[in-house]
Amino acid sequence: MTTRILFAASSESWAAYRSVLPAALDAEGVPHEIVTLHDAPDPATIDWVVYAPSSPLQDFTPYTRLKGVLNLWAGVEDVEGNRTLTAPLARMVDPDLTQGMVEWVTGHVLRHHLEMDKHIHGAAWDATPPPLARDRPVAMLGLGVLGAACAGTLAGLGFPVTGWSRSKKHIAGVRSLTGEDGLREALSGAEIVVLLTPHTRSTENLLNAERLAWMRDGAVLLNPGRGALIDDAALLEALPRLGHATLDAFRREPLPQDDPYWSHPKVTVTPHIASTTRPGSAARTIAENIARGERGEPLLHLVDRSEALAAE
């Protein structure tokens, strides 16, 4: 029996997936037909939706035989609270996305640890060496798939890594903390803080003025997660005391040219490139989940929507 899949994302996204998604489904042995929103399909005939939260598809009520929605992005904050969606929702977790995040985080942690900026910008001769990694504590806020991979890599390089998340995690070489007291301990003990929690209602403005004040003088903040995790006004107020902020995600993207982050001497802006979904590997992740669903097996990377739905 043919599985009918709706690709509910932009035409630009479909151009990137047009060949790789069918190939991945063929490799999984899933007989399929893929349609797009442009084809105006009958919603009652759709088994699976491959979805971007920016999609015009917002009402899932007519999709009466829907088995699941497979997000193209890691972030699900724009769809998880949608009450018309009653089918399972899976976030995008794929090896290339994880590897990209590990490389960005490791690169910028090492950049700040080795104090590369002052040499790149031509500081006066100063032969004082930076400390070794073992003397540079790092806090990883968020220990999901991406945070755990980054924390494990940094621990492998010798950094003392303290992780903070909603529940205890067990990652080799990483100390795991939870709760408000754990967050304060993680922030106050670190010289470099990496922000990789998901964006939910409970993590909105996670780093507000009070919590930024818990960070050490001269500490560095990296945010490759979500822009809404930081109270921007509070961060700008705290920057004279902090060492630097390297930011990859923002509330408005592209970041407006008049935003004060662009010109601040203690801020580095990167254009949301820490980790992006790569069609080849993402298509394999989607196809694997559809194949599992068609075999009656549990889907991978399911989103717990209870908090989002309770808040609506």
Which residues are catalytically annotated? 226, 272
Using DSSP, state whether 269 is helix, strand or coil.
strand
Distances (CA, A) of 273 to 21, 269, 308: 23, 10, 27
Question: d(Cα 152, Cα 297) in Å, to the nearest integer?
Answer: 30
Tokens representing 76 are: 């699900």
Alpha helices by DSSP H, listed for the chain, are 11-17, 20-27, 95-113, 116-120, 145-156, 179-189, 209-212, 232-238, 260-263, 279-294, 306-311
How far apart are the C-alpha atoms of 91 and 289, rounded to whole Å? Answer: 11
SS (H, E, C) 135-167: HCCEEEECCCHHHHHHHHHHHHCCCCEEEECCC
Residue 279 burial (CB count, 10 A): 19
Q: How far apart are the first and last CA of the chain?
A: 38
Measured between alpha carbons, how far is 189 from 7 in angstroms, rounded to an integer? 45
- For 216-276, strand residue ranges (E) read 220-223, 244-247, 267-269
Round to whole Å and give the CA distance between 5 and 115: 49
